[in-house]
A and B are shown apart, each in its own frame.
Chain A
Amino acid sequence: MKVTAAQVQVVAQMARLSVPADRLDAVAAELSAVLDAFDVLATIPLNEASADADAQLARRPDEVVGELGPDQVKLNSQHVNDSSFVVPKVLE
């Protein structure tokens, strides 16, 4: 699987990461090499993929247990005010 520098840029954007322009080709080559090693999975027919295997792991309903209060949630943030996390303006 050959990954291009342009694809790296798109994937980095999705992952909310920044790859410097002078590293794009090197990162593309690294990812290509790893994805080549993943090609062994092409021998698995897609129709062998059943329902999500992870679904077998859940043993109780996915429900919130023991919620934290707002003050506790904010304790490890360095940018908070009385009621919220403070972030740069989203809308002008």
Chain B
Amino acid sequence: VSVPGTIEQAQAALASGEMTSESLVQACLDRIAAHDAEVGAMLAVDTDKSLAAARSSDARRRAGAPRSLEGIPVVVKDNLCTAGLVTTAGSKALEGFVPLSDATAVRRLREAGAIVVGKTNLDEFGMGSSTTNSAYRVTKNPFDAARTAGGSSGGSAAALAQGFTLGALGSDTGGSVRQPAAFTHTVALKPTYGRVSRSGLIAYASSLDVVGPMGRTVSDVKRLYLAIAGHDEADATSDQRPVDASEPSVSGRTIGVAQEWLEGLDAPIADALDEARATLERAGARVVEVSLPSSGLALATYYVIACCEAASNLARYDGIRYGPRAAANTLTETYVRTRSERLGPEVQRRLLLGTFALSAGYADQYYRRAQAARLRIRHEFDEALRDCDALLGPVSPVGPWRLDEPTPSAVQSYQRDALTVPVNLAGLPALAVPTGFGGTPRLPLGVQLVGRMFEEATLFALGRALEVEPGPSLYLGRDVLTKAIRT
């Protein structure tokens, strides 16, 4: 049995009896065994439990009671808690941590019939955009192993692109599902803040973090989204509005393109955006220019707020309640040694920045001004989306970079996030959609659609209009796929 291309195809094969969930999960496990040493997508594989769950799923199907994701294998970013399965957030500070319960999003996937095959690699606590800041391994791009898969949900994206799974969960604090999706020809949704519960998501920056579904097609991502979205009492910021599962029309929609997002793009990315714009126009949408004048403030605003929140959230990793502890003679020395030994360099840098920005004498200069800038950015999005149904823009100003490039400075590295972080500051939904391959060498390209609060349904409709026709070979797995795009 080979891994089908999409959840839709797998559901048809399962319904017809062409395959069982057990054979499907086994096929995913076989691909992981064959290819993960090269790709580095996985941090844990739950072989026995996933096969047992698949057998139960097959029994349920035979009993005539399949659920919406019955028997579908998924992988989960390792900053989402999974009951009984080690969850590290890519950090040595959580080495060996076994959660007592599932994150709400994971629990809802299981309740919908999905089977968690394993946990995926990430930049430590989600801090990075290359999945090279993991304490455990580097994730490589399935389309070119010399390049990054993006991050911080690079493990989930690479697992999808490599055919290890049919669906995935990631998290997006500043672009962490959208950018790796654009780098691996996969689809990812950053839901509206409050739409998907954060309960059980290991916190990085609580006012920005969201759990996002990832898949190979827009329809698959919508299926996953509908399974995990909705109110959850365990998350104080969870919204109570009903989830919209409608299929709105694309024709007659107005799409804005922010001029501030077009500066400094790599040529293939600019071309992909032009093509996406033309595709939406052909589908009956009207594309207009809009302005987001404070876009230049977004990066600084994001990093101040994210680092300040991280400085608070990560204070708990002191060796007392979780993870290994450094030997020390005093309590303070225990904290300091454990944190210094167990937290990675990028995490420590952000904690120092956040602590500095919150310290007496600097909180006004940085934190309070960043909060004010955040409100200004939100209002500008509201203004732009008053006349537009959605905004269209690039995901990243650059494509997947080579892993052997000289290490950029922190500022250069942060600048790569300039086009994704504004959406998190505004709390809006955004969908990253692949648009094909381009550049030299030919690499995946993608764009993002940004919607009004809680209007994910509009984004799915627009995303389907943009989606590249896969053709017969696109979803046959990376080996065939890579050959297809190179020839």
Chain A contact residues, CB within 8 Å of chain B: 3, 7-8, 11-12, 14-19, 27, 30-31, 33-46, 48-50, 52-54, 57-62, 65-66, 68, 72-73, 75-79, 85, 87-90
Which of B63-71, B322-330, B460-468 touches A?
Answer: B322-330
Report whether B410 and A68 are in contact in the complex, using a CB–CB cutoff of 8 Å: no
Report whether B328 and A88 are in contact in the complex, using a CB–CB cutoff of 8 Å: yes
Which of B33-41, B251-259, B345-353 touches A?
Answer: B345-353
User: How long is the Cα–Cα vector from A69 to B376 in the complex, in angstroms?
Assistant: 44
Chain B contact residues, CB within 8 Å of chain A: 96-98, 100, 193-194, 207, 233-234, 236-240, 296-297, 299-301, 303-304, 311, 315, 318, 320-325, 328-337, 339-340, 343, 348-349, 351-357, 359, 364-366, 368-376, 409-411, 414, 427
Report whether B97 and A76 are in contact in the complex, using a CB–CB cutoff of 8 Å: yes
Q: A17-B339, A30-B410 are in contact. Are A46 and B372 (CB under 8 A)?
A: yes
Report whether A60 and B373 are in contact in the complex, using a CB–CB cutoff of 8 Å: no
Determine how close the nearest CB of chain A comes to the CB of B68; give it in whole angstroms.
Answer: 26
User: How long is the Cα–Cα vector from A57 to B237 in the complex, in angstroms?
Assistant: 6
Report whether B329 and A17 are in contact in the complex, using a CB–CB cutoff of 8 Å: no
Q: A38-B303, A78-B325, A87-B334 are in contact. Are A17 and B351 (CB under 8 A)?
A: yes
Q: Please, could you name 21 A-B residue pairs with CB atoms under 8 Å apart, sorted by A?
A: A14-B355, A15-B354, A16-B315, A16-B339, A31-B356, A37-B411, A41-B304, A46-B369, A50-B372, A50-B375, A66-B234, A72-B100, A76-B97, A77-B320, A77-B321, A78-B323, A79-B320, A85-B321, A87-B334, A88-B329, A90-B331
Query: Which residues does chain A contribute within 8 Å of B97, judged by CB atoms?
Result: 76
Report whether B331 and A34 are in contact in the complex, using a CB–CB cutoff of 8 Å: no
Determine how close the nearest CB of chain B comes to the CB of A18; give it in whole angstroms.
Answer: 4
Please tell me which one of the listed residues A15, A57, A72, A73 contacts residue B311 in the complex, with CB atoms under 8 A apart: A15
**Complex: chain A residue closest to B98, CB-CB:** A76
Q: A11-B359, A44-B373, A53-B371 are in contact. Are A87 and B320 (CB under 8 A)?
A: yes
Determine how close the nearest CB of chain B comes to the CB of A65; give it in whole angstroms.
Answer: 5
**Complex: chain A residue closest to B320, CB-CB:** A85
Query: Which residues does chain B contribute within 8 Å of A60, judged by CB atoms?
Result: 233, 236, 238
Query: Which residues does chain B contribute within 8 Å of A31, judged by CB atoms?
Result: 349, 352-353, 356
Report whether A75 and B325 are in contact in the complex, using a CB–CB cutoff of 8 Å: no
Report whether A88 and B352 are in contact in the complex, using a CB–CB cutoff of 8 Å: no
**Complex: chain A residue closest to B322, CB-CB:** A76
User: How long is the Cα–Cα vector from A88 to B327 in the complex, in angstroms?
Assistant: 10
User: How long is the Cα–Cα vector from A74 to B134 in the complex, in angstroms?
Assistant: 26
Query: Which residues does chain B contribute within 8 Å of A88, judged by CB atoms?
Result: 328-331, 333-334
Query: Which residues does chain A contribute within 8 Å of B370, judged by CB atoms?
Result: 41
Query: Which residues does chain B contribute within 8 Å of A16, judged by CB atoms?
Result: 315, 318, 332, 335-336, 339
Report whether A27 and B352 are in contact in the complex, using a CB–CB cutoff of 8 Å: yes
Report whether B372 and A57 are in contact in the complex, using a CB–CB cutoff of 8 Å: no
Query: Which residues does chain A contribute within 8 Å of B329, judged by CB atoms?
Result: 88
User: How long is the Cα–Cα vector from A60 to B238 in the complex, in angstroms?
Assistant: 8
User: How long is the Cα–Cα vector from A34 to B349 in the complex, in angstroms?
Assistant: 10
**Complex: chain B residue closest to A18, CB-CB:** B340
Please tell me which one of the listed residues A7, A34, A41, A66 contacts residue B369 in the complex, with CB atoms under 8 A apart: A41
Determine how close the nearest CB of chain B comes to the CB of A88; give it in whole angstroms.
Answer: 5
Report whether A40 and B296 are in contact in the complex, using a CB–CB cutoff of 8 Å: yes
In the complex, besides A17-B352, A37-B414, A48-B375, 20 extra interface pairs with C-beta distance below 8 angstroms are A7-B356, A14-B359, A15-B352, A15-B355, A16-B318, A18-B340, A30-B349, A33-B411, A34-B411, A44-B372, A52-B371, A53-B371, A53-B374, A57-B427, A58-B236, A61-B236, A77-B321, A78-B324, A87-B334, A88-B329
Determine how close the nearest CB of chain A comes to the CB of B346; give it in whole angstroms.
Answer: 11
Report whether B368 and A49 are in contact in the complex, using a CB–CB cutoff of 8 Å: yes
User: How long is the Cα–Cα vector from A50 to B376 in the complex, in angstroms?
Assistant: 11
User: How long is the Cα–Cα vector from A65 to B320 in the complex, in angstroms?
Assistant: 23
